[in-house]
């Protein structure tokens, strides 16, 4: 991409898309197209086709998706598989029909088998059963990966697929019913501190481990791949280390300054035991995550205080 290239970011208001948008602006890219979901429903094929025919973007970051944590995935499995299949099918095919130079599809590490060896290498895709709690979402994302690969093989397109690990940062979802673990904990511990609650309840046993990547680092990685990678194989994006959910709770508790206890509801599901991605591939290409977790966590909490409290209250 050059600084005048016409770039479309699908999902620019979400955690991933907004980070890519900020990073492109910071780096001096001048010609960025964005549409809210109200302005352009990506599930609507006719609307997507008309948009691409009118705008003719040269590069596409496909960061739009229906996402959520264990609760949302359990309660709305049909929504997760249907909406994601519609969004990615419409955008990928419209990109082909309108001669998009290159597209980056954002997947997720939930595409890997539940019991995949750790850390998870790119070649472990489709080597075992998926985690049941988010299988519909994972299957939709796998379909997107295979769609990109298939268009490359059949049509000679340059569509690449990146698999980010668990993300956090500005514009995260802090809704306790639909959010992922880290933003949910930031909100729960903050509210417990405000109410002087004696304890915070966390789901499961606290033993599963998760890896966390700051969203601004992901954005840098996505632009790096768009400019430097043309392979047909998926690429993991992560930091290369992880933390137990119990230790995560302790870190969030410390950042917020909450002085109560942590209790674990072991009747609730743990999800996948561990989800650490192998990052040798992207590190070998020349990119490495820069934000230490403790620093990123402080930034995320500061953003929550400055931007989310008025919505919640």
Active site residue 29: no
What three-state secondary structure class fits 214? strand
Give the span between the Cα atoms of 297 and 292, in whole angstroms.
Answer: 9
CB 253 within 8 A of CB 51: no
φ/ψ (deg, to 5) at 163: -115, 95
Write down all domains in the chain, each with its CATH number in brackets. 7-171+211-241+276-291 (3.40.50.720)
Please enumerate in sequence order all residues whose Cβ is within 8 A of that of 303, keeping only pairs 6 or more positions apart, or say none. 169, 170, 172
Q: In this structure, are strands 209-210 and 243-244 parallel, antiparallel, or unpaired?
A: antiparallel
The pLDDT score that the predictor gives to residue 31 is: 98
Residue 108 marked in a binding site: yes
Please enumerate in sequence order all residues whose Cβ is within 8 A of that of 176, keeping only pairs 6 or more positions apart, or say none. 184, 187, 188
The pLDDT score that the predictor gives to residue 11 is: 97
What tens digit of pLDDT does each residue of 162-180 get? 999 999 999 999 988 878 8
Collect the ranges in the chain with pLDDT lower than 50: none
Residue 204 marked in a binding site: no
Choose, from 29, 137, 229, 301, the residue flagged as catalytic: 137
What tens digit of pLDDT does each residue of 24-76 get? 999 999 999 999 999 999 999 999 999 999 999 999 999 999 987 777 788 88
Residue 141 marked in a binding site: yes
Residue 12 marked in a binding site: yes
What tens digit of pLDDT does each residue of 137-149 get? 999 999 999 999 9
Nearest to 140 by CA among 99, 111, 169: 111
Nearest to 91 by CA among 170, 146, 148: 148
φ/ψ (deg, to 5) at 33: -105, 135
φ/ψ (deg, to 5) at 175: -75, 120
The pLDDT score that the predictor gives to residue 105 is: 98
Residue 17 marked in a binding site: yes
The pLDDT score that the predictor gives to residue 313 is: 55
Residue 54 marked in a binding site: no
CA pseudo-torsion sign 194, 197, 198, 199? negative
CB 15 within 8 A of CB 63: no
CB 168 within 8 A of CB 231: no
Q: Taking the complete model, does pTM exceed 0.85, yes or no?
A: yes
Nearest to 288 by CA among 217, 214, 212: 217
Question: ∠ at Cα 218 (151, 103), nearest 5°?
Answer: 20
The pLDDT score that the predictor gives to residue 310 is: 65
Helices (H) and strands (E) in the chain, counts: 11, 13
């Amino acid at each position: 991409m050059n600084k005048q290239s016409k770039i479309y970011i699908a999902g620019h208001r979400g955690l991933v898309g907004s980070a890519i948008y900020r990073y492109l602006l910071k780096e001096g890219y001048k010609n960025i197209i964005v549409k809210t979901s109200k302005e352009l429903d990506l599930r609507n094929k006719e609307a997507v086709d008309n948009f691409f025919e009118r705008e003719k973007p040269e590069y596409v970051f496909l960061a739009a998706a229906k996402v959520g944590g264990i609760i949302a995935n359990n309660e709305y499995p049909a929504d997760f598989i249907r909406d994601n299949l519609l969004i990615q099918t419409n955008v990928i095919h419209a990109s082909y029909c309108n001669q998009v130079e290159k597209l980056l599809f954002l997947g997720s590490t939930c595409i890997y088998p539940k019991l995949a060896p750790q850390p998870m290498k790119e070649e472990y895709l489709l080597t075992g059963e998926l985690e049941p709690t988010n299988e519909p979402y994972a299957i939709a994302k796998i379909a997107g990966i295979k769609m990109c690969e298939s268009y490359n093989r059949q049509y000679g397109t340059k569509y690449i697929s990146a698999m980010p690990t668990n993300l956090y940062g500005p514009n995260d979802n802090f809704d306790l019913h639909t959010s992922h673990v880290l933003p949910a904990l930031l909100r729960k511990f903050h509210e417990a501190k405000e109410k002087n609650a004696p304890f915070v309840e966390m789901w499961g046993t606290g033993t599963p481990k998760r890896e966390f990547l700051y969203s601004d680092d992901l954005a840098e990685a996505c632009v790096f791949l768009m400019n430097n990678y043309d392979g047909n194989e998926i690429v993991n994006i992560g930091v290369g280390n992880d933390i137990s959910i119990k230790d995560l709770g302790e870190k969030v508790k410390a950042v917020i300054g909450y002085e109560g206890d942590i209790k674990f509801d072991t009747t609730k599901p743990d999800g996948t035991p561990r989800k650490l991605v192998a990052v040798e591939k992207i590190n070998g290409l020349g990119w490495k995550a820069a934000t230490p977790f403790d620093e990123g966590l402080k930034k995320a909490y500061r953003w929550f205080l400055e931007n989310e409290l008025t919505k919640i209250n």
